[in-house]
Chains A and B, each alone.
Chain A
Amino acid sequence: MTTNKESAVEHKKCMLNRREFLLYSGASAAAVSTVTLFSGTAQAREARVVAYPRKLITRLSELQDNIPVDFKYPDDGKNSECMLVKMGGVEAGGGIGPQKDIVAFSYLCTHQGGPLQSTYKVTDDQRTLGQCPFHLSVYDLRRHGIIVSGQAYQSLPQVMLELDGDNIYAAGLMGLLFGRNQNLMEA
């Protein structure tokens, strides 16, 4: 980690790139900018500049297929439990690595904060988290954590990842963590 990469300016660049990547991953990739596409609609907004930390999570060479790695992000505070998983060659939105199959998500159900630990499932070519032990929500890890079935108020927050050599870094979050009013809260 370098101080340069943690700066807000550097980070904003990084955020927008990742947002575009997340939006246009897959077949419908298009070379237009976010702002142009959404101008004049409710969704038109600048990506918020938040200084997410860049945190080393694990190494590509250490990952085993379909065995989640637990970590905390964006800080070590409450509700920061996350998981990272290499999904056995199944490509996913926002996935990194040679097979675009490495993704990371919050472990807290966005319905009422239920713990999703130990609920990672492989079902044919689908990869999910859930049923949540509280109210049975299930999330689709191939599709940015969208709800498959359940009561969640939003997709499971997705941790944005970067691959640098063999190192995998967490570098941002899409969506608000359960229990927080903003992802980066003052201590």
Chain B
Amino acid sequence: MSTNYYLPEDQAPLPPKHAEVLTTCCDYCIVACAYKVYRWPIGSGNGGTKANENAFGIEFPSSPLEDWVAPAQHNVVMHKGIPHNVVITPNKEAITVNTNGDSSMRGGLIAQKCYNPKTPTRDRLTTPLVRMFGTLQPVPWDFALEIAAEVAKHVIAKHGANAYSMKTFSYQYIENTYAVTKFALRHINTASFTFHDTPSDVTSTPGFRDAGFDNFGPSYDDWASAETLMCCGTDPYETKTILFTQHIMKGIQAGMKVIMLNPRETAGVTYVKKMGGLHLDLYPGTDTVLLGAIARIVVENGWEDKEWLENWVNNKWESDSGFGQGTRNTPWQWRTTWGKFQTKGFDDYKKWVLSQPEYELEAAAELTGVDATKIKQAAEWIAKPKEDGTRVKASFGIEKGFYWSNNTGNTNAISSLATICGAGGREGRVVGRFGGHQRGGRRGGGLPRNKSPEKVPGRRRRALDTDRWLVSGHTRFAHVVGTTWIQSMSGSQGLQQKFQELVVNNPNQVRSYDKQEIIDSLKARADSGGMVVINQDIYLRNPIGAQFADIVFPAATWGEEDFMRANGERRLRLYQKFYDAPGDAKPDWWIIAQLAKKMGFDGFDWQNSNDVAEESSRFSRGGRKAYHMIKVYAHKHGHTLHEQLRLLGADGIQGPTFINDKGELKGTKRLHNTEMNPEMVKERYGENGPGAANMVNKKMTHFNSQTGKVNLQKHPWSLFSDFWTWLKPKEEELWFSNGRINEVWQSGFDDVQRRPYITQRWPENFLELHPDDAKKRGIESGDYVMMYSDRVAAHKDTILGVGGDDFQFSKLMENGHIELSKAAVTAVAIVTPHIKKGVMYAMFIDMRQPTNALSARVVDNISGNYNYKMGVAKVKKLGESQYKKEFRSMSFAPRNIA
């Protein structure tokens, strides 16, 4: 752990001519910028300032935008047991992602991620741990694995596969996610499975899926080629920096107007405004109403794209044609609650939008808190035809600030608005997610949804909610891979209390040195209604590892193994191993393989990560980042899949991949490419179309719907308004939202906890408060404040829905399924006009002050996702923090200084 006592260094070594150069990409945000690792042995001589004396081949001092080594970009690591210098800097040769060799602060400092016992990374897990007599004690791999395997087998045999709950990252490299899902879904076959960011294994953007949009269809340069870009629920500058600085910013400089939907005005929003853009500063959870009002203005004025609607949107008969499985009883019907979303085409949609009182301009302005003239302006910018009658090219991008509040309603609304404006798969008119973490998922098995005991009214099984399953006492064995489980979920303090009760407060604790007795104690705990926890991670996380895990497996990560992954434009690259993992830490695929073998499963005899990648490739076919053809191409040329990706270098290749009739490997710039002409088809697939192992499906040239055209859907506010109205601030409460902050990635295990400079910037969680709200409460910047609530709602029961509205919030409340509990989180106040009045904002998972404690543990009643970005809390001053009067750390300057 680092502290905020930090002295800047004033020198850095330059890599010498003899440094080895390896390519990799940043480990953090979706964009995955290309980096170079320069590695040379300690004592072999550093580079000089003359061009012929250093590995960059340039003169120092270097000029702006040229290579440079900041002190924090240097580290010392072990490579094959010998200490080496490494310098990790953005790859100036990158021509696609981080053009100009740009970098974010997070990636720019990634050299600090490497394990070095002289730095705050010294507490990396280096050996397996088993909790005995209340202490996690180092043990050999076999000892830990055998205990885990015996207890796991027992739990599955006695309590069923669903008693084995797997909570795992969805993104931390293709090799690992394939191994984890093969183990949990194919072999254990548990329905109690989900990823790090959702309680159940469901789609993140239900509206996109039902409309037919892939989340990641566009290329990064597409986001710069619109005339108007609407960004919903994110400032890309803060959370996917290079997409903004190298792509969107260039578009803005060339005249693209940007509309931002966000209750905060951060640096990117400020820049957009300065360049003539629009900021729609709405209250949390009101996006559906705002977009509904905009859609209403569009159709009232007849500004819809008639040609697009005619050619690419389902009419009455097409809407009703199901997924080729008959018109009824399809997943779409189950999700859409029997007609609440389905339309008979545009005219039906228009009639519906005009009939919704919430979407009348004045009503919407009142509810969303956005000025009516700005709403009108937005509608004009995205849809009003120009004087010569031609259309504005508008693109639409969303991220979690948007889709994690009214998940289904918001994503339906944006899909429909984009569609009536003519956006889809064409240049300058794209629809997609901007993205959060990188795309490293590859499933090695399917979720056995029919084994889920959850059922929603009128529909079939819904993916099991692992939090509710655990809270109701059905989880006997929790296997947690690379996530905190608790702080990253919602209503998290209540969830933590349940872990405590099931694990620590259970009388069956390990009080023995004998392996069999240890196994027996843990089996007895599971049998008595308690829970056993195993955890794979790179650091001992609190509380999941430090307080709850019975067994901890040390994982190897970025730079410590060859891994592959894609970014938010489906671009696949190899992340090369360049140094030794600390101690006995092993990659997650290896840990899973050993556990699987000890449990008696076959198919886990991989020798290295390339073996895993090659086995997984055939399951990628048909997917957005299909990489199977890279393997086919590699084998044809005598390479492995990983070697081929390494040869593809900094720019990699965009999935899905193909081999054309000339034997050339081809990628895919854009999905749903409705503008593909015969020449482009020939170039990609060859004279006679796709052959051999190439697999081409609808999403390449059409949309992911039953017909290949877009489903235009309704987005009723009424399905959500009971919850929103119940939640909205009462008396002294304020809205509370949370999210990422530019300087910190994800839960901060690297940066905010182990990078002194970032620790200095953000030593604790903060709370942004509008000056008017602060003044009323006597709060100033630098004060310690407490956010607290006595009405954090939690849905506590696993139930079967029978009546149509059984999962509606008001009905759950009426039927006693909602429990209200208290939560409290402290923070350092930042009083700033860049947050909307009436709204507060903090970082989403600071481990010491986890703010998801204040959001409801109640899922979206259609999709099953949490609405993390919406909470309410009271706030009061506790006293002054040390940061108020000293000048060393934090900053109370607003983020909207242009």
Listed in ascending order, the chain A residues whose CB lies under 8 Å from chain B are: 19, 23, 25-28, 37-38, 41-43, 45, 48, 50, 77-79, 91-94, 108, 110-115, 121, 123, 126, 128, 130-131, 134-136, 138, 140, 142-144, 146-155, 157, 173-183, 185-186
CB proximity of B6 to chain A, nearest CB, Å: 6
Proximity bits, B884-897, A CB within 8 Å = 1, else 0: 11111111111101
A113's partner among B64, B268, B887, B889 (CB-CB below 8 A) is B64
**A-side interface mostly:** loop
Query: With contacts A135-B102, A185-B61 known, is A143 near B68, CB below 8 A?
Result: no
Cβ of B265 to closest chain A Cβ, rounded Å: 11
- Let me know if B69 and A181 touch, CB within 8 A: yes
Closest 4 A/B residue pairs (Cβ): A93-B887, A113-B64, A153-B70, A27-B885
Contact between chains at A176 and B761 (CB < 8 Å) = no
State whether the Cβ of B157 lies closer than 8 Å to any Cβ in chain A: no
Evaluate whether A179 and B888 lie within 8 angstroms (CB atoms) in the complex, with A131-B267, A136-B268, A151-B108 already known. Answer: no
Residues B70 and A154 in contact, CB atoms below 8 Å apart:
yes
* B3 partner residues in chain A, CB cutoff 8 A: 41
Closest to A181 in B: B14
Taking Cβ atoms with an 8 Å cutoff, the residues of B that contact A are 2-3, 5-14, 49, 60-66, 68-73, 102-105, 108-109, 118-120, 237-238, 241, 245, 266-268, 270-271, 742-743, 756-757, 760-761, 882, 884-895, 897-898
CB-based contact A136/B267 at 8 Å: yes
For B69, the chain A residues whose CB sits under 8 A away are 181
Interface centre among B119, B270, B761, by most chain A C-beta atoms within 10 angstroms, is B761
Assuming A25-B888, A151-B108, A181-B13, what are 16 further A-B pairs, CB within 8 angstroms?
Answer: A27-B886, A78-B61, A108-B64, A123-B897, A128-B897, A146-B891, A151-B103, A153-B109, A154-B8, A173-B10, A179-B62, A179-B63, A179-B66, A181-B11, A181-B69, A185-B61
A129 to B507, CA, bound (A): 59
Pair B61/A147 contact, Cβ less than 8 Å: no
Task: Name B67's closest neighbour in chain A (CB-CB).
Answer: A179
Given the known A-B contacts A26-B887, A153-B73, A154-B8, are A112 and B120 also in contact in the complex, defined by CB atoms under 8 Å? no
Residues of A within 8 A of B7 (CB): 19, 23, 43, 45, 174
30 contacts between A and B (CB under 8 A): A25-B887, A26-B886, A27-B884, A27-B885, A28-B886, A41-B5, A43-B5, A45-B7, A91-B887, A112-B102, A114-B64, A121-B897, A126-B897, A128-B893, A136-B268, A146-B761, A147-B743, A148-B893, A149-B266, A154-B71, A173-B10, A174-B10, A175-B8, A176-B10, A176-B70, A178-B68, A180-B61, A181-B11, A181-B14, A185-B61
B70 and chain A: residue at smallest CB distance? A153
Determine how close the nearest CB of chain A comes to the CB of B743; give it in whole angstroms. Answer: 7
Cα separation A78 to B884 with both chains bound (whole Å): 37
CA gap between A175 and B11 in the complex, in Å: 8
Chain B residues with CB under 8 Å of A154's CB are: 8, 70-72, 757
A112 CA to B246 CA, complexed, in Å:
13
A138, B742: Cα distance in complex, Å: 12
Contacts of A174 in B (CB 8 A): 7-8, 10
CB proximity of B251 to chain A, nearest CB, Å? 15
How long is the Cα–Cα vector from A176 to B73 in the complex, in angstroms? Answer: 12
| Contact yes or no, B49 A181, CB < 8 A | yes
In contact, B8 and A155 (Cβ under 8 angstroms)? yes
Closest Cβ of chain A: how far from B50's Cβ, in Å? 11
Given A26-B888, A42-B120, the answer on whether A179 and B882 have CB atoms closer than 8 Å is: no
Nearest to B73 among chain A residues (CB) is: A153
- Cross-chain contact A151 with B760 (CB below 8 angstroms): no
Nearest CB of chain A from residue B246's CB, rounded to whole Å: 9
Q: Which residues of B contact A27 (CB under 8 A)?
A: 882, 884-886
Give the chain B neighbours of A134 by CB distance below 8 A: 64-65
Q: Which residues of A contact B266 (CB under 8 A)?
A: 149
CB–CB A131/B271 < 8 A: yes
In the complex, what's the smallest C-beta–C-beta distance from B401 to chain A, in angstroms?
A: 17
Main secondary structure of the interface of B (DSSP, over half): loop
Most buried by A among B49, B890, B897: B897
Q: Is the CB of A37 within 8 A of B5?
A: yes
A150 to B244, CA, bound (A): 12
For the complex, give the distance between the alpha carbons of A181 and B67 in Å. 11
Contact indicator B885/A112 (Cβ below 8 Å): no
Q: Residue on A with the closest CB to B771?
A: A124
> In the complex, what residues of B have CB within 8 A of residue A79's CB?
61
Asked if B11 and A176 make an inter-chain contact with CB atoms under 8 angstroms apart, the answer reads yes
Contacting residues, chain B, for A149 (C-beta < 8 A): 238, 266-267, 742-743, 895
Report A41 CB to chain B, min CB distance, Å: 8
CA distance A151 to B268 in the complex (A): 12
Known pairs A153-B70, A154-B71, A179-B68; A146 contacts B897 (CB<8 A): no
Tell me whether A153 and B105 are in contact (CB under 8 A).
yes
B830 to chain A, nearest CB (A): 11
A19 to B72, CA, bound (A): 20
| Chain B nearest Cβ from A36, distance in angstroms | 12
- On chain B, the residues within 8 Å of A126 by CB distance are 892-894, 897
Interfacial chain A residues near B72, Cβ < 8 Å: 153-154
Contact B882 A144 (CB under 8 A): no
B528 to chain A, nearest CB (A): 44
Instruction: Name the one of A138, A151, A175 contacting B10, with C-beta atoms under 8 angstroms.
Output: A175
**Choice from A92, A123, A178, A182 contacting B11 with Cβ under 8 Å:** A182
- Complex Cα spacing A126 to B104, Å: 24
Assuming the contacts A114-B64, A123-B897, asked whether A176 and B12 have C-beta atoms less than 8 A apart, the reply is: yes
Q: A7 CA to B553 CA in the complex, in Å?
A: 55
Contacts of A23 in B (CB 8 A): 5, 7, 888
Min distance, Cβ A156 to any Cβ of chain B, angstroms: 10
Roughly how many angstroms separate A177 CA and B436 CA in the complex, as a whole number?
Answer: 33
B882 neighbours in A (Cβ, 8 Å): 27-28
Give A33 Cβ to nearest chain B Cβ, in Å.
13
Whole-angstrom distance from the CB of B542 to the nearest CB of chain A? 21
User: Of the candidates A43, A113, A138, A144, which one forms a contact with B893 in the assembled complex, judged by CB atoms under 8 Å apart?
Assistant: A138
User: Least Cβ distance of A165 to chain B in Å?
Assistant: 26
The smallest beta-carbon distance between A147 and chain B, in angstroms, is 6
Q: A128-B893, A178-B68, A185-B49 are in contact. Are A150 and B742 (CB under 8 A)?
A: yes
Q: Are B893 and A123 within 8 A (Cβ)?
A: yes
Question: Nearest Cβ distance between residue B279 and chain A, in whole angstroms?
Answer: 16
Give min CB distance, B832 to chain A, whole Å. Answer: 10
Q: Which residues of A contact B887 (CB under 8 A)?
A: 25-26, 91-94, 142-144
Residue on A nearest B71 in the bound complex, by CB = A176
Given contacts A142-B887, A154-B70, A174-B10, A148 and B895 within 8 Å (CB-CB):
yes
Q: Is A110 a contact of B891 with CB atoms below 8 Å?
A: no
- Return chain B residues, CB-CB under 8 Å to A150: 105, 267, 742
Q: How far is the CB of A75 from chain B (nearest CB, A)?
A: 10
Pick from B5, B61, B104, B268: contact of A177, CB under 8 Å: B61
B76 to chain A, nearest CB (A): 12
Chain B residues with CB below 8 A from A37, complex form:
5
Contact A185 B886 (CB under 8 A): no
- The distance from the CB of A73 to the nearest CB of chain B, in whole angstroms, is 13
Q: Report Cα–Cα, A123/B833, bound state, in Å.
A: 11
Q: A94 to B245, alpha carbons, bound, how many Å?
A: 32
- Return chain B residues, CB-CB under 8 Å to A94: 887
